[in-house]
Chains A and B, each alone.
Chain A
Amino acid sequence: MTSVLTFFARRLAATAGVLAIVAVLIFLLLRLVPGDPAAIIAGDSATVEQIEQIRDGLGLNRPLVVQFGIWIANVMRGDLGESFVLKKTVAGLIAQRLEPTVALALSTILFAVLIAVPLGVLAAWRHGGWVDRALMGFSTLGFSIPVFVLGYLLIWLVSMKLGWLPVQGYRRLSTGVLPFVLHLILPSLTLSVVYIALIARLTRAAVSQALTEDFVRTARAKGLRERRVLVRHAVANAAVPIVTVVGIGLAMLMGGVVVTESVFSIPGLGRLTVDAVLARDFPVIQGVVLLFSVVYVLINLLVDLSYPFFDPRIRV
């Protein structure tokens, strides 16, 4: 237990270092990239004088060091600042967009794991059989088909032809479980296809490898039932790479999935980030990048901490 706590504390300390580097880099990169938030805010027919007024009001005419000092001091106090464009707090904007992104990420991963792991195990167990070949074909298709093409196809079939599900939008959980679920099914399904392909292939490879190990042969020789051999011995030993790829997938999904969010009009963090980048809304970009860094680090930490659970031979 002590070793786990020490490991946890060490990783958290490392996280602080990572965040500090990310903060400096993102701040400098945004200022180096061409683009003027004031010009974008001012609109199409603004004069240079109006743009200059806005730039002054946003504090962009101050020296870079002063701007960084103010921002970092605020961040240390837990204040991510205020959007240049929307005049709302960055924390508030992130909070508003967090639920759709988390819901979409979790439901996608849930779909993917529930479908991909059994498929991968089955394909490994019936190596070379029709299930295996079908899975290989599906995974090639899953990797190849662009998300927006699949999204439009599903909308056309499921929503427009069959009328089963809404075309677009997101309903918060607070508006009711059913609308929430109905609006999530299509985008999750669309996004999960590539993860199903990835996780299923990885599961197949890991379980196939495990099935060739001596302990499986021993288990079979002991007369254990095939299902038990498969679940308790092969899958359990293949779990670590599967958990790793699921964790990475979840972290990537939490970073926002812009195309899917656009096709299904989901107001998630991905669209917030893209809109902020296009508008050069520096405080929002800095806030979401810091958040993504925290999420990445924490998910990886959780994945690391989960290894001993799946494989007792591993000690953190």
Chain B
Amino acid sequence: MLRPFHCLRATLGIVTLSAVAACTSVSGQSDNTVLRIVPGADLAILDPYWTTATVSQDHGYMIYDTLFGMTADGRIQPQMVDRYDTSADGKTWTFILRDGLEFHDGQPVTSEDVVASLQRWGQRDTTGQTLLASVAGWDVVDARTFRIRLNAPYGLVLQSLGKPGANVPFIMPKRVAATPADRQISEYTGSGPFIFKQDEWKPGEKVVYVKNPRYVPRADPATGTAGGKIVRVNRVEWIIITDPQTQANALAMGEVDYIEMPAFELYRTLKRNPDIQMLELNALGGQNVLRFNHLEPPFDNVKVRRAAMAALNQEMFLQAQVGIPGLSRPCFSVYPCNTPYTTTAGMDDLAHPNPRRARELLAESGYSGMPIVLLHPTDSTSIVKLPPVAAQLLRQAGFTVDLQPMNWKSVVARRARKTGWNIFITNTPGVSMASPIDSYPLGGGCDKAWFGWPCDAELERLKDEFVRAADEGERKAVAELIQLRAMEVVTYVPLGDYANPVAARKNVTGLLPGPQTMVLWNVAKE
């Protein structure tokens, strides 16, 4: 018979062993088939056409496939498409799908699915709207062949179909794509490399995907959003952790494998950890954008906008925002630096900020000294430090600044109103800024333009010229004219480029650089 003390000791031993076992299974360190990711934001909207939120596009790349993909170095290459052809007059495009493409439910992917998906995408996405405006008709030739007939040559058909930024033209089953564009889809069947586990989706907690056993990867190597999407884990869990320090702690202890957007403040701590690697996967990084409200005084006056631009110093913004050498760079172009259309034309004021000149320009503009409302999102780690810098620089130039603190979602709601604000600052993935057709702050379409609503017919004419350009050389020349015009009327002010490296455990391999950071095929855990 055991004495009470022995009983207690035996019980404590069992509890301790169980606790150790539980801790091991809880951290998941032993399971190399499950990849645990902390995404940059919680997934709230599952329809990637319905919102431009990056996390919804990342979700799209998990479960859907695209006709074309973008390689890590920015080239468009076929993905679901096997081969394609264009007529001599450039007005008819014929596409043939790869053999063996299937949706998650086992149904084959057909031309009808593709056409229905592109038609729905074209109602939501601005690039899609531009493309569809040139479409004279769609022909479903057979199950694997479809044709797009254009009413005029359009130079960006492939770039539009392979664009990796919101909204990505993902291919859905026809029955899903038939959902009216003003309603969200309610079925999440795709033909991509992962299957969404809707029954395990817990908003604010976890999003789960499993490997799609029916997926047939291309034979060519994976690169960016193109090439062979070979899945090397059985299950991917997006774990929603909102607190940056908790994210870092969980990564350090192996409770998660990867953080998509670790806070800059934690960069050095994470980099020092021998178990963690910091990788710059997003070649284009992000670009900071300062936007004026063109409808409200004083920024309805182009001279005042020019004075403001002359006061803004990219170095100061980047130092405050990032503060880590090598992770940011001033970029005097509306297109992210090192992208095909990058040019410094028309950027003299921004490249050589000068408070004295800014004051002179402001005096010439007739600015009355009225306070300008600058929206300050205090909960956005990547933006929070930018508005105070802007406020200080503008004050030095003679502006009266009312810096109004609020959360980011209030900024989003507030800027959608045409009155009550003068400036907001945001940052956006470089991939969404790399071309005049994708860059939403670059338009001058009045009511149809992005928040701030600049109205400039010449800018719109140049954008139209860009999509009609015969070749890449001509497009490049027009892109430069667009930048010159955009800076002449100061539609917005670029505040520099930055990189946001991902943090991953060192046993995570196969992470691919590309235009999007959340490419999770090809990734393995060792």
B246 and A263 form a contact (CB under 8 A): yes
Count of inter-chain pairs, beta carbons less than 8 A = 153
Instruction: Take A152-B245, A178-B18 as given contacts and tell me if A166 and B202 are in contact as well, using a CB distance cutoff of 8 Å.
Output: no
Interface size on B, residues (CB 8 A): 60
Of B22, B203, B451, the residue contacting A93 (CB under 8 A) is B203
Of A36, A46, A271, the residue contacting B52 (CB under 8 A) is A46
| Residue numbers in B under 8 Å from A43 (CB-CB) | 51-53, 56, 166
B253 at the interface (CB under 8 A from A): yes
Interface centre among B250, B447, B448, by most A CB within 10 Å? Answer: B250
B240 at the interface (CB under 8 A from A): yes
Q: How far is the CA of A275 from the CA of B204 in the complex (A)?
A: 9
B binding-site residues for A, Cβ under 8 Å: 18-19, 22-23, 25-27, 42, 44-46, 51-53, 56, 124, 126, 166, 181-184, 186, 202-205, 239-243, 245-246, 249-250, 252-253, 255, 379, 407-410, 412-417, 426, 428, 432, 440, 447-451, 453
Q: How far is the CA of A85 from the CA of B242 in the complex (A)?
A: 18
A59 at the interface (CB under 8 A from B): no
| Residue numbers in B under 8 Å from A201 (CB-CB) | none
| Residue numbers in B under 8 Å from A167 (CB-CB) | 246, 249-250, 253, 255
A279 and B246 form a contact (CB under 8 A): no
- Can you list 10 A-B contacts with CB-CB less than 8 angstroms, sorted by A residue number? A35-B410, A40-B409, A45-B52, A53-B182, A160-B249, A166-B255, A179-B26, A267-B240, A279-B44, A280-B413
Q: How far is the CA of A277 from the CA of B54 in the complex (A)?
A: 21
Q: How far is the CA of A48 from the CA of B409 in the complex (A)?
A: 16
Q: How far is the CA of A57 from the CA of B183 in the complex (A)?
A: 7
| Residue numbers in B under 8 Å from A183 (CB-CB) | 26
Of B183, B249, B412, the residue contacting A39 (CB under 8 A) is B412
Q: How far is the CA of A43 from the CA of B415 in the complex (A)?
A: 12
Tell me the chain A residues, 259-289 only, with Cβ under 8 Å from chain B.
262-265, 267, 271-272, 275, 278-280
Known: A87-B184, A279-B409. 17 other contacts (CB 8 A): A35-B413, A35-B414, A38-B416, A39-B415, A45-B440, A45-B450, A46-B51, A53-B181, A85-B45, A86-B203, A87-B46, A159-B249, A163-B253, A167-B253, A168-B255, A171-B26, A182-B26
A263 and B53 form a contact (CB under 8 A): no
| Residue numbers in A under 8 Å from B52 (CB-CB) | 42-46
A96 and B202 form a contact (CB under 8 A): yes
Contact with B along A1-12 (1 / 0, CB 8 A): 000000000000
Closest chain B CB from A158 CB (angstroms): 11
Closest chain A CB from B506 CB (angstroms): 18
| Residue numbers in B under 8 Å from A87 (CB-CB) | 45-46, 184, 186
